[in-house]
């Protein structure tokens, strides 16, 4: 009955999207989420599989496509999927985090109705509840440019997705219990490349041809460095923005970030190591895969090439790719400044993580539903300061208010000894500056207000700051979070409520008819057809 209902809604969605979007095509995906045994580091674990796959199936679509994903939750606990970097224009209803969506109950179905509006590039999806991300449930998203709309490089001979990151041998339930007990996670046990450990994955190429590699750091705690033995990489895209095409021998990819590089198989015909290693960690973890020439005359030889380890200056110099062309963001007057400082307070005897002293705790009702139905007492805008407080940490369902079409200067300030990685849902931003030390008004003198890149995830180096210019151009309730998943889980996140008083479909889509209701919104009716 659940599956029949899903397909009925899918047909309704087709009619609505065709009427609303004219020629924009639609693509259907039907997913079943289950537990299954996986052995990524040679040890049996309980993994989260989608259609029996770990990592999950890839989504391939074209700019402006309507993407309909019917998800059946066959786990024994609630589940949600979020879409890292997909902006959900006017549609935070589909963001797939607990602040905007009720979880899919065990044994039930929910159909996501997405549109990849005006986006191209490399992204990924992941499970956003509990500590499910430590069990899998993630996969790649490729969004191609529309036909006849050129991209700034020739079509590659092939297109590979590489999902990599750190991994633990313990089950996600055990890791969650460690965090719930007020402790930090142990050091990771290894790195994975597409769900496998070292030398378990092979990418086959033809000599003389050029290939696109879409690389995402889907790990939990560590920045990584990516390199290919004997080959250079041409950086062409970062989270949906075509970059100035710089050549690298290795590339840092911080938590939650995605890049595309072009690699030409221009070396003698044999096999070569593809290497990922952790950055800013001791010890350094390393994993390898194989770049296999189809006419290979020999297997890999020599040790895998080494990479940078703790050098921050090297990474900082690499961290400023410029875009192809530029939006004149530097000519727009900022309407407010938001300064966000991360911290690691002990609260009630337990390790927590905070932003501007507030350690986020989920409400009993998704914030977006409470806002829509005007349910009092769930949250209040203004429950997090737009500036560091310097005070001790405390627990709060923190929401910051923002006006639609405002243009903010956002500064992430990191006084800790570890690299941070931050993601903002529903928006892109321009990375105008980053440097060591304490941010001050005079730091603006070093901003790049001409041709910096736009993206949705950015690193902040130890005892450093990173500054953004960000258009608040997407009405909704949007998650701002640490991409270090232990920090996110223990409170280093909050929600940004971008508000328009017009209450118009022009600014925001109405609540979906199939929206799940829960908590204090239980029993409320969604809009009629």
pLDDT tens column, 125-151? 999 999 999 999 999 999 999 988 889
Distance CA 383, CA 8 (A): 41
Least confident range from 3-17, 167-181, 282-296: namely: 3-17
- Indicate whether 7 pLDDT > 70: no
Give the distance between the most distant pair of CA atoms in the chain.
Answer: 69
Read off the tokens for 81: 């999927």
pLDDT tens column, 417-426? 999 999 999 9
Q: What is the helix (H) or strand (E) element at residue 400, kind and residue range? A: strand 399-403
Backbone angles phi, psi at 103, to 5 degrees: -60, 155
Angle (CA) 411-416-417 rounded to 5° is: 125
pLDDT tens column, 145-173? 998 888 999 999 999 999 999 999 999 99
Residue among 523, 524, 497 at smallest CA distance from 508: 497
Return all residues near 168 (Cβ < 8 A) that are at least 6 apart: 134, 175, 185, 186, 188, 189, 220
Distances in Å between the Cα of 183 and the Cα atoms of 136, 174, 191, 343, 362 are 22, 12, 22, 15, 19
pLDDT tens column, 430-447? 999 999 999 999 999 999
Q: Where are the beta strands (DSSP E) in 178-315?
A: 190-193, 202-205, 210-217, 224-228, 233-238, 241-242, 247-248, 250-253, 258-264, 271-278, 286-293
Confidence of residue 325 (pLDDT cuts 50, 70, 90): low
Residue among 498, 438, 496 at smallest CA distance from 464: 438
pLDDT of residue 411: 98
- Residue scoring higher pLDDT (2 or 327): 327
Distance CA 112, CA 277 (A): 35
Cis omega (within 30 of 0) on the bond before 283?
yes
Global pTM value: 0.94
pLDDT of residue 166: 98
Distances in Å between the Cα of 214 and the Cα atoms of 114, 238, 240 are 21, 9, 11
Distance CA 512, CA 529 (A): 9
- Indicate whether 323 pLDDT > 70: no
């Amino acid at each position: 009955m659940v599956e029949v209902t899903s397909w009925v809604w899918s047909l309704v969605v087709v009619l609505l999207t065709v009427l609303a979007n004219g020629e924009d095509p639609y693509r259907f995906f039907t997913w079943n989420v289950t537990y299954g045994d996986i052995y990524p580091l040679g040890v049996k674990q309980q993994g989260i599989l989608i259609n029996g796959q770990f990592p999950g199936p890839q989504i391939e679509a074209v700019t402006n496509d309507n993407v309909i994903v019917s998800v059946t939750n066959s786990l024994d606990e609630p589940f949600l999927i979020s879409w890292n970097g997909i902006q959900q224009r006017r549609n935070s209803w589909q963001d797939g985090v607990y602040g905007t969506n009720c979880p899919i109950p065990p044994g039930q179905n929910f159909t996501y109705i997405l549109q990849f509006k005006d986006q191209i590039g490399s992204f990924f999806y992941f499970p956003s509840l509990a500590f499910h991300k430590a069990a899998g449930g993630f996969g790649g998203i490729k969004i191609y440019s529309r036909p006849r709309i050129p991209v700034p490089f020739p079509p590659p001979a092939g297109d590979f997705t590489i999902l990599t990151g750190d991994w633990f041998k313990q089950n996600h339930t055990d890791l969650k219990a460690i965090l719930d007990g007020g402790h930090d996670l142990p050091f990771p046990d290894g790195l994975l490349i597409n769900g496998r450990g070292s030398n378990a994955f092979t990418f086959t190429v033809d000599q003389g041809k050029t290939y696109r590699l879409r690389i995402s750091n889907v790990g939990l705690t560590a920045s990584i460095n990516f390199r290919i033995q004997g080959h250079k990489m041409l950086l062409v895209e970062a989270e949906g923005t075509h970059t100035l095409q710089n050549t690298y021998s290795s590339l840092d990819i911080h938590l939650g970030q995605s890049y595309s590089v072009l690699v030409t198989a221009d070396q003698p015909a044999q096999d070569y190591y593809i290497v990922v290693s952790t950055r800013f960690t001791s010890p350094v973890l390393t994993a390898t895969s194989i770049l296999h020439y189809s006419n290979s005359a020999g297997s890999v030889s020599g040790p895998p090439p080494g990479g940078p380890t703790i050098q921050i200056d090297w990474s900082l110099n690499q961290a400023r790719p410029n875009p192809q062309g530029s939006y004149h963001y530097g000519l727009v007057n900022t309407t407010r400044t938001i300064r966000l400082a991360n911290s690691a307070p002990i609260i009630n005897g337990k390790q927590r993580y905070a932003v501007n002293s507030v350690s986020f705790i989920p409400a009993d009702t998704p914030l977006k539903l409470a806002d829509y139905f005007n349910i009092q007492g769930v949250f209040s805008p203004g429950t997090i300061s737009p500036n560091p407080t310097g005070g001790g940490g405390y627990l709060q369902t923190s929401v910051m208010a923002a006006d639609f079409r405002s243009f903010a200067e956002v500064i992430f300030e990191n006084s800790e000894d570890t690299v941070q990685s931050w993601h903002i849902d529903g928006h892109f931003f321009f990375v105008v500056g980053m440097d060591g030390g304490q941010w001050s008004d005079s730091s603006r003198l070093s901003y790049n207000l001409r041709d910096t890149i736009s993206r949705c995830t950015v690193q902040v180096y130890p005892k450093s700051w990173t500054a953004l210019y960000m258009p608040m151009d997407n009405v909704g309730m949007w998650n701002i979070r640490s991409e270090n998943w232990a920090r996110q889980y223990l409170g280093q996140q909050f929600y940004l409520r971008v508000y328009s008083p017009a209450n118009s479909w022009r600014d925001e889509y109405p609540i979906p008819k199939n929206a799940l209701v829960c908590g204090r919104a239980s029993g409320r009716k969604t809009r009629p057809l």
